[in-house]
Amino acid sequence: MTTHFSRRHFLGLAGGTTGALMLGATGCGGSSGPGGSGSLTVWSLQDPVQNPIQKAALKRFSDKAGAQTKLETFLNTAYTQKLRVAMGSPNTPDVLFNWGGGSIRQYVDNGLLQDLTPELEKNPEFKAKFLPSVLEAGRIDGKYYGIPLRGMQPVILFYNKKLFEKHDAQPPTTWAETLKLVDTFKKAGVTPFAVAGAESWTQLMWLEYLCDRIGGPDVFGAIAEGDKSGWADPAMVRAIDAIADLAGRGGFGTNFSSVQYQTGASPLLAKGKAAMHLMGSWEYTNQLDQEPEFTKDGLGWTTFPAFEGGAGDPKAIVGNPTNYFSVSKRSENAGKALGFLKQEMGSDTYVDALIKGGDVPAVADIEARLKDSPNPEFAGFVYDMVRDAPSFQLSWDQAIENKYAQPMLTNLQKVFLGKLDGKGYAAAMKAA
């Protein structure tokens, strides 16, 4: 009985994965896994806008190269685990969606991903198609493992224009102004910042930006390289204390710990119950989908405020530089995979489709073409923001070694709840 219950979860997960693998196998005749009989298998995230664009790209490639292709998509939450199990087995997809950084570091360490550096060196015109800072973010130990596949997703401070007009306020440019705004909105009975405290990755954005503003990108850079003492860095401690202070002042309201992202924080901003919301650029598409009226005339956006006396550049950004396609080393279709990436990822047709879908691709010199975006103003803002940024730090939960991601998030939740301060956080992370 006991064993049955405790194993059920493992079996369920394993079963799900096997199912996915079997799908992969049937997609190409099932002889020897996805790579076997010549069909190119691409794994990606489920996304109603992106998937048709990817499918079209695959079709163009298969029409031209005469190869069979197959796109398989997975839900965001299940994808990392499915990919993990697949990568540990002989049945890997040929081309796989990822976030760069820590999300693929272990695959690289285990020799499971193709080094794309020679290919990029051989084709400088292909390499030059992408924004260098974004291509850089896909680099591990000096080698390229990923080709940017879609738009850039920096974290942006969104705000409700109507609330700002009503209370005669300006979006904050410094931390002092931020704290003043907290008082303004609290007095008016409006939550200053919406934050989805039930999903702690949204809280992490606050720490990412504050730490970058106070101490620059190297503070976390050292931690990502494996130096745990970075958690006790004065800049990190100060950033945590600033969050605890903001939460203590009621900057996030009182019940943010139960708030979800899509069903909570986003509607709070749209319905005028919260004034600001720190979120990835995908929030624009999300709001456009859920609240088209508000997005058109009420949604404002700006950069994260500077921190007085901080060492970081206020132009620096954090978030997801982009998503990447990497090629599995076990793939028997590596040639086709590379052919596909080279033909499509920087092509005008593909890039234009991305722009029309609301993305801001990580492709160089496309300012003029961004006018075709559903919102040229927003797309231009994102593009300039990334182009002018001295650094673009990958989201910490993706960049850090897997085993520290969960403690980092859980302890940060405690900071927001007022149970840990800067020193306490450093101690908790040292013990993790």
Partner 1 sequence: MTLTTKAPSAGPVRRGGGVRGVRPAAAPDRTPRPGSLYILPAALFFAVFAVGPVIGVGVLSFMEWNGLGDPRFAGTANWERFLGSGAIWDATGRTLLLTGACWVVQTPISLAIGVWSAGRQRNRAVLSAVYFLPLLLSSAAIALGWKAILDPNFGAAKALGPLIGYSDGDLLGDTQGALLCIVMVVTWQFVPFHALLYQAAARNIPASIYDAALIDGAGRATAFRYITLPQLRNTIITSSTLMIVGSLTYFETILLLTDGGPGGATHVLPFLMYTEGFRSYEMGFAATIATALVVLGTSLSLLIVRFSGFAKMRSTLEGI
Residues near partner 1 (CB under 8 A) are 1-10, 13, 81, 84-85, 87-88, 106-107, 110, 112, 197-200, 253-260, 263-264, 267-268, 273, 402-406, 410-411, 413-414, 416-417, 419
Nearer residue to partner 1 within complex by CB, 223 or 405: 405
Backbone angles phi and psi of 193, in degrees to 5 = -125, 125
112 vs 179 by CB, closer to partner 1: 112
- Least CB distance to partner 1 at residue 429 (A): 13
Can you tell me whether residue 14 is helix, strand or coil? helix
> Which amino acid appears at position 65 of this protein?
A
Sequence-ordered list of residues with C-beta below 8 angstroms from that of 210, at least 6 positions apart, any chain: 239, 242, 243, 307
Instruction: Give me the least distance between CB of 79 and partner 1, in Å please.
Output: 12
How many angstroms separate the CA atoms of 373 and 352, rounded? Answer: 9
Q: Give the nearer residue to partner 1 in terms of CB position, either 67 or 224.
A: 224
Q: From the CB of 387, what's the least distance to partner 1, in Å? A: 34
Q: Which two tokens stand for residue 11?
A: 């079996």
**Given the structure tokens 């990580």, which residue do they identify?**
362
Are 363 and 138 in contact by the 8 Å Cβ rule? The answer is no
The residue (of 351 and 420) whose beta carbon lies closer to partner 1 is 420
Phi, psi of 306 (to 5 degrees): -75, 155
- Rounded least distance, CB 255 to partner 1, Å: 4
Q: Which is nearer to partner 1, 391 or 411 (CB)?
A: 411
Shortest distance, position 137 Cβ to partner 1, whole Å: 22
| CB 247, min distance to partner 1, A | 12
User: In whole angstroms, how close is the CB of 80 to partner 1 at the nearest point?
Assistant: 8
Whole-angstrom distance between the N-terminal and C-terminal Cα of the chain? 33
> What's the rounded Cα separation, in Å, for the pair 211 and 88?
35
Contact 277, 194 (CB under 8 A): yes
Measured from the CB atom, is 294 or 307 closer to partner 1?
A: 294
Cβ closest to partner 1, residue 26 vs residue 106: 106
Which tokens is 46 given? Answer: 């489920």
- Cβ proximity to partner 1, 196 vs 362, nearer residue: 196
**CA torsion 98→100→104→109, rounded to 10°?**
150
- To partner 1, the closest distance from the beta carbon of 241 in angstroms equals 17
Nearer of residues 355 and 420 to partner 1, judged by Cβ: 420
Instruction: Please say which residue, 12 or 38, places its beta carbon nearer to partner 1.
Output: 12
Toward partner 1, which CB reaches closer, 256 or 324?
256
- Find the helix or strand (DSSP H, E) in which 245 lies: helix 234-248
Q: How far is the CB of 54 from partner 1 (least distance, A)?
A: 26
CA distance 229 to 189: 41
Burial of 201 per CB tally in 10 Å (0-12, 13-18, 19+): middle
The residue type at 417: L
Closest CB to partner 1 among residues 325, 425: 425
Beta carbon of residue 20, minimum distance to partner 1 (angstroms, whole number) = 15
Distance CA 327, CA 34 (A): 13
Instruction: Show Cβ contacts of residue 150 under 8 Å, excluding neighbours closer than 6 positions.
Output: 50, 322, 323, 354, 359, 361, 362
Backbone angles phi, psi at 298, to 5 degrees: -125, -15
φ, ψ at 326 (rounded to 5°): -115, 160
Question: At its nearest, how many Å lie between partner 1 and the CB of residue 108?
Answer: 11
Of 155, 300, 240, 296, give the one whose Cα is nearest residue 423.
240
How many other CB atoms are there within 10 angstroms of residue 204's CB atom?
20
Query: Minimal distance in Å, beta carbon 160 to partner 1?
Result: 15
Q: For residue 391, which of 133, 130, 148 has the smallest C-alpha distance? A: 133
